[in-house]
Amino acid sequence: MSTISILLIIINLAGALAVFLFAMKLMSEGLQKIAGSKMRAVLKKITGNPLRGILTGTVVTAAIQSSSATTVMVVSFVNAGLLSLAGAVAVIMGANIGTTVTAWIITLFGLGEGSGGFSLPMLLAAISLFFIFSKRDQMKSIGQTVIGLALLLVGMELLQEPMANLDQYPGFLNALGTLSDYGFWSILLFVAIGALLTCLVQASAAMMAITLVMCYNGWIGFDVAVALVMGQNIGTTITANLAALVANSAGKKAARAHLVFNVVGVIITLIVFSPLMKLIAGLTASMTGCSPYTDVADPSYNPESVPLAISLFHTIFNVGNTIILAFFIPQILKLVNWMVKTKDEDNEDEFRLTYITGNWLSTAELNLQSAKSEIEEFSKRVLRMYTFLPGLRTAKNDEEFDTIMQRITKYEGITDRMEMEISKFLTKVGSGDISEHGSERVSSMLRIIDNLESIGDTIYQIAMTRQSKREDAVHFDAGLNANLEEMRDLVQKALNIMDTNLKDYDHMDLDAAYAAEHAINTERDRLRTQHLDALKLGVYDYAIGNAYSSLYALYEKLGDYVINVSEAIDNSRKHHDD
């Protein structure tokens, strides 16, 4: 085997893999756009019912053709407190079942003469044109999905070409044969190889495709292929665990649960390996007339028998393990609780993005969920910052006052950085392949975080005004303090409504937001009238009047920023309804 020949095989294989992975990405993104918002809504509604969670994970993963996307979303939802850990385990189990659809697509349409060469992909590509040039986002997404499927089949054809030439290189086949000669130890070895390669490629679907092609061409036996598939199931868990590196304890536990489920599933399968292989061999023989153990040189050998047997195994492996382990969800939870020790993560005075991480989901629209959760966290920070203000008035000494001022100052810095980081993330999302509705949501979210940051700035200005008042020994009487407390309470009510609206865009209460803002404006007008009258009558001096009017004006300014947030949410909702 010459160096050039080896290089050509590697180049052809790498190119075919690139086409296959791009096709999977394209098809997955199209499906996620079609069902993205509904999918998120379904996942968030999962309760402690294991069966419902398993079915949801199965349907969602089968729909979007990416177990990694499902598990990463599950980790983010658990991290955000939108999904219980028990619900997450059930969804992850279902995701493993849903991912078996990929193997069946490849087996039924992407291998052998039944694939139709490039005819079927070309037909699908032609059909996609009717959708891609539509003006409707939904139709464009359907077209993207169809063209993704077409390219996936093209990728399978391209993968088969370099594989078909491997019989010219006995050294490669001898190496595989040597590794396969250690009995059960060979099975364990190929489980490890499958896990390692899937970790490196970061795409279990691609590894499944390579495994099926090698089986079809007779380069590896049925047992070796099964071992690779089991390894792929372990290797695919790396994506969720990478996503959980910066997650909270709950998110880490969800990722570990994915790993535990797949590892335990492999152990169970290894225990019943021989009878399970006999069962699958019998099923395959009844369907194709040929056992997956039939020698390639045998006249009765059917090259489609091993890929079919692999697909059967993949399905039985995941469905069987799910049925068994569904009864042990409480034990899995205990194990992951032991693996991940809960830390004190309530140190809210430290800056960290909780839901926006370095792990970018394959579809820009799905990243909006992370942004939305981060904005909710932003709102919580702002509301907490607001609760510090009363302490400035009631501080018993300078030390207590300074401590509160330091916290407010620190929070003001946090709001600045949160606005900057979320803005950068949203800008990146908006520059990606995103629907018109998604683009409108990005614009609305940018407006929301801008106003949340302005709320933080205004709270800081109120604190600075209080500090100047204290330094200048300016004192308010009981009446002025009561008036400012009334304004503070009205703004608090508006902030609470804003925070509630941010949690559910589809059911936000704009009328309540406007009512709260109207109450703030009415109170401001009343205080301003009283203030002007007091100045005319000389009730208090200029220093007191200036500090007092500055404070109630700042509270009213807060109300303006608060209503801007709810209006931005409503704008996003209107575009969604359209």
546-555 pLDDT, tens digit each: 999 999 999 9
Q: Which residue has the higher pLDDT, 217 or 494?
A: 494
CA atoms within 13 A on the CB side of 22: 11
| Cα–Cα distance measured from residue 329 to residue 325, given in angstroms and rounded to the nearest whole number | 7
Of the listed ranges 99-113, 348-362, 379-393, 475-489, the least confidently predicted one is 348-362
CB 458 within 8 A of CB 382: no
Question: Tell me, what's the pLDDT at 96?
Answer: 80
Angle at 468 between CA 463 and CA 473, to 5 degrees: 125
Task: Determine the residue type at 27.
Answer: M
The closest alpha carbon to 358, from 24, 82, 72, 81, belongs to 72
Question: Tell me, what's the pLDDT at 496?
Answer: 94
Residue 257 tokens, joined: 């649960």
Q: What is the mean pLDDT of residues 285-312?
A: 78
How does residue 113 score in pLDDT terms, banded at 50, 70 and 90?
very low
Question: Tell me, what's the pLDDT at 116?
Answer: 47
Asked if pLDDT for residue 522 goes beyond 50, the answer is yes
| Cα–Cα distance measured from residue 215 to residue 52, given in angstroms and rounded to the nearest whole number | 36
CA trace torsion 46, 48, 50, 51 (10° rounding): -60
Task: At 570, give phi and psi (nearest 5°).
Answer: -65, -35
DSSP-assigned states of every residue in 298-357: STT--TTHHHHHHHHHHHHHHHHHHHHHGGGHHHHHHHHHHHS-------TTS---SS--
Question: How many residues make up the chain in this entry?
Answer: 578
405-454 pLDDT, tens digit each: 999 998 998 898 889 889 988 888 887 777 777 788 889 999 999 999 99
Question: Tell me, what's the pLDDT at 577?
Answer: 46
* Residue 552, Cβ density class (10 Å: 0-12 exposed, 13-18 middle, ≥19 buried): buried
Q: What is the mean pLDDT of residues 294-302?
A: 72
DSSP-assigned states of every residue in 108-136: HHSSSGGG-TTHHHHHHHHHHHHHHT-SS
Scanning the structure block, which residue is given the tokens 């590896």?
A: 220
CB 452 within 8 A of CB 382: yes
| Cα–Cα distance measured from residue 455 to residue 385, given in angstroms and rounded to the nearest whole number | 10
376-399 pLDDT, tens digit each: 989 999 999 999 999 998 888 989
The closest alpha carbon to 539, from 480, 481, 457, 453, belongs to 480
CB 326 within 8 A of CB 319: no
User: Is residue 434 classed as helix, strand or coil in its secondary structure?
Assistant: coil
Residue 109 tokens, joined: 């349409």
CB 358 within 8 A of CB 379: no
Asked if pLDDT for residue 303 goes beyond 80, the answer is no
The single-letter DSSP state of residue 46 is: -
Asked if pLDDT for residue 271 goes beyond 60, the answer is yes
CB 335 within 8 A of CB 253: no
Residue 435 tokens, joined: 């629907």
CB 248 within 8 A of CB 255: no
How does residue 33 score in pLDDT terms, banded at 50, 70 and 90?
low
**Angle separating helix axes 3-44 and 204-216, nearest 10 degrees:** 130
How does residue 516 score in pLDDT terms, banded at 50, 70 and 90?
very high
The structure's pTM equals 0.52
| Cα–Cα distance measured from residue 124 to residue 226, given in angstroms and rounded to the nearest whole number | 31
How does residue 120 score in pLDDT terms, banded at 50, 70 and 90?
low
User: Is residue 140 classed as helix, strand or coil in its secondary structure?
Assistant: helix
Q: Identify which of 59-68, 236-245, 405-414 has the greatest average pLDDT.
A: 405-414
| Cα–Cα distance measured from residue 422 to residue 375, given in angstroms and rounded to the nearest whole number | 8
| Cα–Cα distance measured from residue 282 to residue 223, given in angstroms and rounded to the nearest whole number | 14
How does residue 346 score in pLDDT terms, banded at 50, 70 and 90?
very low
What is the CB neighbour count within 10 angstroms for residue 577? Answer: 8
Of the listed ranges 64-73, 234-243, 356-365, the least confidently predicted one is 356-365
| Cα–Cα distance measured from residue 272 to residue 226, given in angstroms and rounded to the nearest whole number | 13
Q: Identify which of 117-131, 286-300, 332-346, 413-427 has the greatest average pLDDT.
A: 413-427
Residue 371 tokens, joined: 């942004």
Task: Determine the residue type at 389.
Answer: L
| Cα–Cα distance measured from residue 529 to residue 200, given in angstroms and rounded to the nearest whole number | 70
Residue 448 tokens, joined: 């929301």
**Angle separating helix axes 222-235 and 249-271, nearest 10 degrees:** 170
Residue 480 tokens, joined: 């002025």
* Contacts of residue 49, Cβ cutoff 8 Å, sequence gap at least 6: 90
| Cα–Cα distance measured from residue 466 to residue 548, given in angstroms and rounded to the nearest whole number | 10
Q: Which residue has the higher pLDDT, 194 or 398?
A: 398
Average pLDDT, the chain: 78
What is the CB neighbour count within 10 angstroms for residue 257? Answer: 32
Q: What is the mean pLDDT of residues 149-161?
A: 64
The percent of residues in the chain predicted with pLDDT above 90, rounded, is 22
Of the listed ranges 64-68, 378-382, 462-466, 519-523, the least confidently predicted one is 64-68
Question: Tell me, what's the pLDDT at 223?
Answer: 84
Question: Tell me, what's the pLDDT at 461?
Answer: 95
